Amino acid sequence: MDFSIFALKYYILIRIGQIAAGEFPVILAPMEDVTDSPFRSICKDFGADVLITEFVASEGLIRDAWKSRMKLQFETKERPIGIQIFGANIDSMIKAAEAAQNAGPDFIDLNFGCPVRKIVMKGGGAALLQDVPKMISMAKAVVQSTRIPVTAKTRLGWDEHHLEIVDIAERLQDAGIQAISIHGRTRVQLYGGKADWTLIGEVKNNPRMKIPVFGNGDIDSGPKAGEMKERYGVDGILIGRAAVGNPWIFREVKAFLGTGSVTAPPSVTERINMVRLHLEKSLLYKGERATLFEMRKMYSGYFRGIAGFKPYRLKLILSGSLQEVDSILREIQYLSLSE
């Protein structure tokens, strides 16, 4: 089955196989140690149309490693959801895709864009941008070995001298990939500089492209999402770093795309309540130690823009128990109410 655009009476619905993804899908981009099930479910509550897991190493799935198995878990409310896998060996990717498929997701996403050194040095992620024939062979092999849709996420190219995404997108489509997500940077850029959506627009407007094209990079507000939609004509967007500790970004984007209105930022009370909910969900999912560690990267996002928060951020990061975190949150709440 191919990704298709199904015309309804009043709007156009993007489909992943037979799965409805929304009129203009706003997707939570996969991020390591961020997009676990607790955080994904929160983002879903705020309007994320499609969710994608943290990326899962193919070799870890084959070995049935505990951390890899954990990443396959999701709640029914998270659908439609894709499991993202990465690796350098085609046979391993086929086996990993089978293991991921058995977990029951709606689709499998292939990571051809992660720029992190430890991934690239092993031949995975964005490393495949230096061996496009292997990337295409891997995509085709996974597509042929699975019963559910397969999508791919990649970048513009390896560096500014190899901006091959227009050709790569066509070839991935021909290999059976049913949607492509493109981050508007090269691997060499990592996450620096400004995302360039020009080539993403060229992929979308290429008359040979029949599958949905989703854009990724620097979407941090409703107006920015609206601008990218109108200027480049993409079928949907992915939100990554702007969502870290900020699930409200989905509410903001959906409101702007739907009505043109800009929503008010969350109150301090709403922020504190959301941190508590996130902690509660994470505690049930992975225990106190991992929760305390992984929440460290979330606090800046949850309290971004709040005057005087910096010393409390340090306290939260250094806290050694959930009771200590609770005490700090109470202090923040008290100070905000007394202002």
Over residues 57-69, the pLDDT tens digits come to 999 999 988 889 9
Average pLDDT in the chain:
93
Q: Exposed, middle or buried by CB within 10 Å (0-12, 13-18, 19+), for 145? A: middle
Which H/E stretch holds residue 227? helix 222-232
pLDDT over 70 at 1, yes or no = no
In this predicted structure, the answer to whether residue 9 has a pLDDT above a threshold of 50 is no
Confidence of residue 11 (pLDDT cuts 50, 70, 90): low
Lowest-confidence region among 109-118, 142-151, 265-274, 328-337: 328-337
CA dist., res. 111 & res. 181, Å (int): 10
Classify 268-338 by CATH class.
Answer: mainly alpha
Give 271-317 pLDDT, tens digit per residue.
Answer: 999 999 999 999 999 999 999 999 999 999 999 988 889 899 999 99
4-259, CATH topology level: TIM Barrel (3.20.20)
pTM, rounded to two decimals: 0.92
pLDDT at residue 18, rounded to an integer: 78
Which whole number is the average pLDDT over 125-147?
Answer: 97
Give residue 12's pLDDT: 72
User: DSSP 3-state assignment of 153?
Assistant: strand
- Is the predicted pLDDT of residue 242 greater than 90, yes or no? yes
pLDDT value for 14: 87
For residue 336, the model assigns a pLDDT of: 67
pLDDT band for position 6 (cuts 50, 70, 90) = very low
pLDDT band at 10 (very low <50, low <70, confident <90, very high): very low
pLDDT higher than threshold 60 for residue 339 = no
**Confidence at 4, pLDDT banded by 50, 70, 90:** very low
Specify whether the CB–CB gap between 215 and 232 falls below 8 A: yes
Q: How confident is the model at residue 256 (pLDDT cuts 50, 70, 90)?
A: very high
Ranges 1-15, 75-89, 95-109, 182-196: which has the least confidence:
1-15
pLDDT at 223: 97
Residue holding tokens 């939609």? 229
17 near 5, Cβ under 8 Å? no
pLDDT at 89 over 80: yes
Secondary structure (DSSP) of 4-60: EEEE-SSSEEEEETTEEEESS-EEE---TTTSSHHHHHHHHHTT-SEEEPPPEEHHH
Kindly report, as residue ranges, where domains of CATH 3.20.20.70 are found in the chain. 4-259
**pLDDT tens-digit map of 95-126:** 999 999 999 999 999 999 999 999 999 999 99
Alpha carbons 242 and 302: distance in angstroms, whole number: 11
| Location of each CATH 1.10.1200.80 domain in the chain | 268-338
| Amino acid in position 214 | F
What does the pLDDT read at residue 5?
Answer: 42
Active site residue 114: yes
Average pLDDT over every residue of 316-339: 85
Share of the chain above pLDDT 70, in %: 96
Q: How far apart are CA 235 and CA 214, in angstroms?
A: 6
- Check 114, 143, 175, 234 and give the catalytic one: 114
